[in-house]
């Protein structure tokens, strides 16, 4: 944000100043200039030095007269010496040393008596203990304090009650007991309190209504079952709790805008939402919860974000979701019992829906045509489904199997550098297949969605032929495909997507020559080819050389064929090929259920031999041809 | 170039830089001075004095104005900044909104 406000020349100056260690030496002695530097320029310069790893403790000192906000999150070198310099920063307002594991309690001594410090983030500084808190007590200006997952005990937390200006307090992952929480009651300015994973129980929760301004409360992973009414509450997180009642009690109902109940178990499901003011609720997460009835949704007309994934919702409750209506922007129904019929009922009721996830549901291709009736959709996730890309049309036609054979045959010859059927012939053939067998390519329906930017089709049954309509989706920015039956044909079809920046085409049978002749869209930044088992290192390096702007992801090609065989499934580390060619360890990955992976069945040598046997199998008759080729 | 198309920028030490108005307008601050209707002395005489900006820095600023114009017309070259000038230039650029 702040970088945008910088003018162009300021940006160029900061870049020049942070070019190298030598350039820093050229300006660091200009004391008079440094003292005159306005705070936002000092902060910006410091931020760049940190990002470029050019900062060291004694260089910090030159900023002590003007820096106001310093972010050192995750810098392992930050230790007591750094803190000693930072303690001398007269105007420092905000200091973030989260995840700096060398910051200790005694290092915090340097901060004693700072007069302007309002925000301090010590999250996950494991060596900060109760002793460190004593040093902080002298900073009475502190308003925001993050202490998540530090080494504090209940005694240290109780000390915080003297920091009367605190409005934000993060005590998550700390042993906060009911007794300690009671001692913090004096912090009446508190607006934000994070207590996930603490030891707070119902007795402690009863104290929470004493904070008159509390608007954000996180009690996830605690033993709280009854939460009393807190009339100022706007955001509430009770995920992974077992809940009896929420916000029951006298007084005004809380103006809740966000509530997260992910993986929550309800003792009394009928009354789960009884005391909640639902008219203002814009965010609801009940994923993986124990809820089985969803009538409460009919009251929530303001919902914009609704997560029902892995819940018990199915087609029978779909009317409740449809009731939510016009405000809904983001709907997650993945891993539920939803089917195409359910999507059909939703269509027409959700005119402003932008994000829809139906991953892992029972939907089929008919659902796609219903999606085309949700005009605002930007992001569709239909991975892990039975989507085939065409309407099922009874028996598979002979022509279609012939087409499949052609693709496979072409592929093996391609690997050896021969081209028998050029792509254009195949494309023509696809249309012919479509025409003569009355197959409807279901993805064609999505052409109506003018805003569609992201599409996830991983682990579906789509094929080269049925992906054909994708080439007309001009607004597409992200596309994810993952399927062992995709070939160079699919890759080449995608050349025409002029706005595509991220393309993932995993586990596909892409060939070296196919990659070599691929003309990537000009906007492409990332190409994920994981599991492309026919590709060699040389071919990928060649591609990287030809298209230096594109980052290519692939497991390693320097490995022997036997290593590659185990390389299906998501690779544990996604190393950029350009960055390093380190040999990766391959973990055994769970097999996909949808198809038998041919790489496990045959070694590379056997596959190459199959190429010749495919010639002898080239009789137009039986389905065994497809079997042998791994197509079904 | 006609006189009314140019503007004179004067440094702290009194050095005068005569540059085209179009280039000077790259700076939002100078643009405001030259175009505001209030009848600033700057508007009438086409002269702006910068008592806070040294000659070296003002010269660099003028170079930047011309570079920026060319860059916006599609000539993609780098604008080199000597590290020892960065601090002062940064402050001047911040003041001039350029």
pTM above 0.80, yes or no: no
Tell me, what's the pLDDT at A344?
Answer: 92
Query: Residue A51: which residues within 8 A CB-CB, separation 6 or more?
Result: none
Residues of B in contact with A17 (CB under 8 A): 83, 86-87, 90
pLDDT category at B41 given cuts 50, 70, 90 is low
- Bridging pattern class, strands A245-248 and A226-228: parallel
Question: Which carries the bigger pLDDT value, residue A277 or residue B36?
Answer: A277
**Cα of B91 to nearest chain A Cα, Å:** 7
CB pairs under 8 A between A and B: 68
Domain end call among A62, A82, A114: A62
Gap between the Cα atoms of A313 and A336, Å rounded:
6
The secondary structure of A592-619 as a DSSP string is PSSS--HHHHS-HHHHHHHHHHHHHT--
Gap between the Cα atoms of A393 and A371, Å rounded:
20
Gap between the Cα atoms of A165 and A185, Å rounded:
13
Gap between the Cα atoms of A453 and A377, Å rounded:
8
Output phi, psi for A16, to 5 deg: -65, -35
Question: Is residue A142 assigned to a domain?
Answer: no
The secondary structure of A140-161 as a DSSP string is TT--EEE-TTSS--HHHHHHGG
Q: End-to-end alpha-carbon separation of chain A, Å?
A: 52
Residues of B in contact with A12 (CB under 8 A): 79, 81
- Given an 8 Å threshold on Cβ–Cβ distance, is A12 in contact with B81? yes
Gap between the Cα atoms of B6 and A24, Å rounded:
37
Which CATH number belongs to the domain containing residue A600 in this structure?
3.80.10
Structural domains of chain B in order of their starting residue, each with its CATH number:
3-87 (3.30.710.10)
Question: Is residue A72 assigned to a domain?
Answer: no
ipTM of the complex: 0.94
CB A368 within 8 A of CB A391: no
User: 3-state DSSP call for residue A405?
Assistant: helix
Question: Is residue A70 assigned to a domain?
Answer: no
Question: Is residue A207 assigned to a domain?
Answer: no
Provide the domain limits for residue A508.
398-629
Q: Torsion over CA of A447, A450, A451 and A452, rounded to 10 degrees?
A: 10
Gap between the Cα atoms of A47 and A41, Å rounded:
10
Structure-token pair, residue A621: 């008759």
| Residues β-bridged to residue A456 | A381, A480
Question: Is residue A487 assigned to a domain?
Answer: yes
- Bridging pattern class, strands A235-237 and A226-228: unpaired
CB B61 within 8 A of CB B96: yes
- Helix B86-96 with B55-72: angle, nearest 10 deg: 60
Question: Is residue A409 assigned to a domain?
Answer: yes
Residues of B in contact with A31 (CB under 8 A): none
Tell me, what's the pLDDT at A537?
Answer: 87
Domain end call among A30, A46, A62: A62
Gap between the Cα atoms of A544 and A512, Å rounded:
13
From A34, which residue of chain B is nearest by alpha-carbon distance?
B87
Closest CA to B82 of A16, A46, A45: A16
DSSP A582: P
- Given an 8 Å threshold on Cβ–Cβ distance, is A17 in contact with B97? no
Residue in B80, B83, B93 nearest the CB of A7: B93
Q: Which helix (H) or strand (E) holds A258?
A: strand A258-260
Residues of A in contact with B85 (CB under 8 A): 13
Residue in A8, A12, A16 nearest the CB of B83: A16
Question: Is residue A100 assigned to a domain?
Answer: no
DSSP B4: G
Q: Which helix (H) or strand (E) holds B1?
A: none
Domains identified in chain A, total number: 2
What letters, b where the CB count within 10 A reaches 16 and e where it falls short, cover A559-587? beeeebbebbbebeeebebeeeeeebebe
Angle at B92 between CA B89 and CA B95, to 5 degrees: 150
Q: pLDDT tens for residues A143-201?
A: 999 999 999 999 999 999 999 999 999 999 999 999 999 999 999 999 999 999 999 99
Tell me, what's the pLDDT at A585?
Answer: 37
pLDDT category at B46 given cuts 50, 70, 90 is confident
Q: Which helix (H) or strand (E) holds A516?
A: helix A512-516
Query: Residue A166: which residues within 8 A CB-CB, separation 6 or more?
Result: A142, A143, A144, A145, A160, A187, A189, A190
Tell me, what's the pLDDT at A558?
Answer: 40
- Given an 8 Å threshold on Cβ–Cβ distance, is A27 in contact with B82? no
What letters, b where the CB count within 10 A reaches 16 and e where it falls short, cover A70-91? bbbeebeebbebbbbbbbebeb
Residue with tokens 């959709």: A377
How far is CA B4 from each of CA A305, A463, B1, B10, B34, rounded to the nearest angstrom?
59, 68, 8, 17, 11
Gap between the Cα atoms of B94 and B29, Å rounded:
10
Gap between the Cα atoms of A544 and A540, Å rounded:
6
Question: Is residue A74 assigned to a domain?
Answer: no
Task: Give chain A's residues under pLDDT 70.
Answer: 1-5, 392-437, 556-632
Q: For residue A377, how many C-alpha atoms fall within 13 Å in the half-sphere facing its CB? A: 29
In a mutational test of the A interface, the residue from B67, B90, B95 whose CB has the highest number of chain A CBs within 10 Å is B90
Residues of B in contact with A10 (CB under 8 A): 90, 93-94
- Given an 8 Å threshold on Cβ–Cβ distance, is A16 in contact with B81? yes
Closest CA to A282 of A310, A309, A306: A306
Residues of A in contact with B96 (CB under 8 A): 7, 9
Structure-token pair, residue A27: 């300006």
**Cα of A93 to nearest chain B Cα, Å:** 22
Tell me, what's the pLDDT at A330?
Answer: 97
């Amino acid at each position: 944000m702040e970088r945008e406000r910088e003018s162009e020349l300021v940006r160029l100056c900061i870049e020049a100043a942070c070019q190298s260690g030598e350039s820093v030496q050229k300006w660091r002695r200009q004391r008079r200039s440094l003292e005159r530097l306005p705070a936002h320029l000092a902060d910006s310069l410091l931020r760049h030095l940190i990002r470029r790893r050019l900062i060291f403790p004694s260089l910090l000192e030159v900023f002590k007269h003007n820096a106001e906000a310093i972010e050192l999150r995750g810098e392992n070198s930050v230790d007591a010496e750094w803190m000693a310099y930072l303690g001398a920063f007269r105007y420092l307002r905000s200091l973030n040393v989260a995840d700096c594991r060398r910051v200790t309690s005694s290092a915090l001594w340097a901060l004693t008596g700072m007069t302007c410090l309002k925000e301090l983030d010590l999250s996950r500084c494991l060596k900060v203990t109760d002793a460190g808190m004593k040093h902080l007590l002298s900073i009475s200006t502190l308003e925001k304090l993050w202490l998540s997952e530090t080494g504090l005990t209940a005694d240290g937390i109780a000390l915080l009650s003297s920091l009367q200006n605190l409005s934000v307090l993060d005590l998550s992952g700390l042993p906060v007991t009911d007794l300690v929480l009671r001692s913090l009651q004096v912090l009446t300015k508190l607006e934000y309190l994070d207590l996930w994973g603490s030891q707070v129980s119902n007795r402690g929760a009863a104290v929470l209504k004493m904070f008159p301004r509390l608007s954000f409360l996180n009690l996830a992973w605690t033993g709280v079952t009854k939460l009393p009414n807190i009339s100022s509450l706007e955001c509430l997180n009770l995920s992974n709790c077992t809940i009896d009642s929420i916000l029951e009690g006298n007084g005004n109902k809380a103006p809740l805008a966000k509530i997260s109940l992910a993986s929550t178990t309800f003792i009394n499901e009928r009354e789960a939402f009884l005391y909640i003011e639902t008219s203002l609720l814009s965010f609801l997460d009940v994923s993986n919860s124990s809820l089985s009835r969803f009538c409460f949704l009919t009251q929530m007309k303001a919902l914009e974000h609704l997560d029902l994934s892995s819940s018990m919702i199915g087609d029978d409750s779909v009317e409740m979701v449809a009731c939510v209506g016009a405000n809904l922007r983001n709907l997650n129904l993945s891993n539920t019992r939803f089917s195409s019929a359910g999507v059909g009922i939703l269509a027409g009721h959700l005119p402003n829906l932008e994000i829809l996830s139906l991953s892992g549901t029972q939907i089929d291709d008919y659902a796609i045509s219903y999606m085309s009736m949700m005009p605002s959709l930007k992001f569709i996730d239909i991975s892990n489904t039975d989507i085939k890309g065409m309407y099922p049309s009874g028996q598979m036609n002979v022509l279609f199997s012939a087409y499949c054979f052609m693709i496979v045959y072409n592929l093996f010859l391609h690997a050896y550098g021969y081209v028998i059927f050029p792509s254009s012939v195949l494309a023509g053939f696809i249309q012919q297949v479509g025409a003569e067998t009355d197959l409807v390519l279901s993805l064609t329906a999505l052409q109506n969605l003018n805003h569609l930017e992201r599409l996830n089709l991983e682990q579906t049954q789509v094929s080269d032929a049925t992906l054909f309509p994708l080439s007309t989706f001009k607004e597409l920015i992200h596309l994810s495909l993952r399927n062992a039956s995709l070939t160079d044909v699919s890759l080449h079809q995608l050349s025409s997507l002029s706005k595509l920046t991220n393309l993932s085409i995993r586990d596909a049978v892409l060939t070296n020559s196919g990659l070599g002749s691929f003309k990537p869209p000009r906007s492409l930044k990332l190409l994920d080819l994981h599991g492309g088992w026919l590709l060699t290192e040389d071919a990928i390096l060649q591609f990287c050389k030809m298209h230096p702007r594109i980052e290519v992801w692939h497991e390693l090609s320097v490995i022997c064929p036997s290593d590659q065989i185990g390389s299906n499934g998501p690779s544990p580390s996604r190393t950029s090929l350009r960055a390093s060619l380190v040999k990766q360890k391959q973990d055994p990955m769970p097999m996909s259920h949808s198809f038998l992976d041919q790489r496990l069945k045959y070694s590379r040598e056997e596959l190459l031999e199959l190429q010749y046997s495919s010639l002898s199998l080239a009789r137009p008759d039986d389905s065994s041809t497809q079997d042998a080729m791994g197509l079904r | 170039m006609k006189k009314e198309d140019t503007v004179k920028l004067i440094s702290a030490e009194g050095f005068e830089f005569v540059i085209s108005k179009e280039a000077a307008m790259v700076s939002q601050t100078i643009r405001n001075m030259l175009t505001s209707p209030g009848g600033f002395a700057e508007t009438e005489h086409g002269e702006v004095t910068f008592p806070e900006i040294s000659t070296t820095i003002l010269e660099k600023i003028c170079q930047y104005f011309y570079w920026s114009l060319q860059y916006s017309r599609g000539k993609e070259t780098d604008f080199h900044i000597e590290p020892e000038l960065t601090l002062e230039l940064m402050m001047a650029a911040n003041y001039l909104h350029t």
